[in-house]
Amino acid sequence: MRIVLPRLRPTQIAGIVLLAAVTAVGIYLLVRERVTSEEAQIRKLIRDGEKAFEEQKLKRCLALVADDYSDNFAADSKDELEQTLRLLFLSSKKIRVSLDDIRIRIRGDEADITLIATGTAETIYGDISLHRESGYTRYALAIRKDRGRWKLVRAEGIE
């Protein structure tokens, strides 16, 4: 059996093309909105971490870190990170951090961030440059969603 389709008029074809375009734009905007929303959440995580670090709020810092955290410069675990931060905070009067050139790449429930971090700490031993002490200024961070919240999983000094 042969199916014969009615011939479409040019206005009908234009309508179908317009409907397809509107649908595609709608899908794009939905996906873009989700990515934009995720990126906004990640940027908030970065700001919250920076503020908690400068205010020397250990619990707030650790709340942003995953239980299986590790890095290549100070801590092999979240517990070691806690001890490192505790010592820094106890010996510091004031900490200032500057984060620049923040780049975020989202992959579902995981994301990669690169950024430049510099900072100083006024300690009981004198002023120190945090980036000179660590030997790095550019960092690569891996984060993932944990129960709906982004958390830091890995930090690596790369430059």
The helix (H) or strand (E) run that includes residue 84 is helix 78-91
| Cα R_g (the chain), whole angstroms | 24
The pLDDT value recorded for residue 23 is 38
pLDDT digits (tens, 9 = 90+) for 20-58: 333 344 444 344 445 569 999 999 999 999 999 999 999
Mean pLDDT confidence for 88-115: 95
The pLDDT value recorded for residue 73 is 78
The fold adopted by the segment(s) 10-157 is: Nuclear Transport Factor 2; Chain: A, (3.10.450)
Q: What is the pTM of this model?
A: 0.75
Residue with token string 């955290």: 69
Contacts of 85 (CB under 8 A, 6+ apart): 58, 61, 62
Cα(65)–Cα(32) distance, integer angstroms: 27
pLDDT at 18 over 70: no
The pLDDT value recorded for residue 141 is 96
DSSP state, 9? P
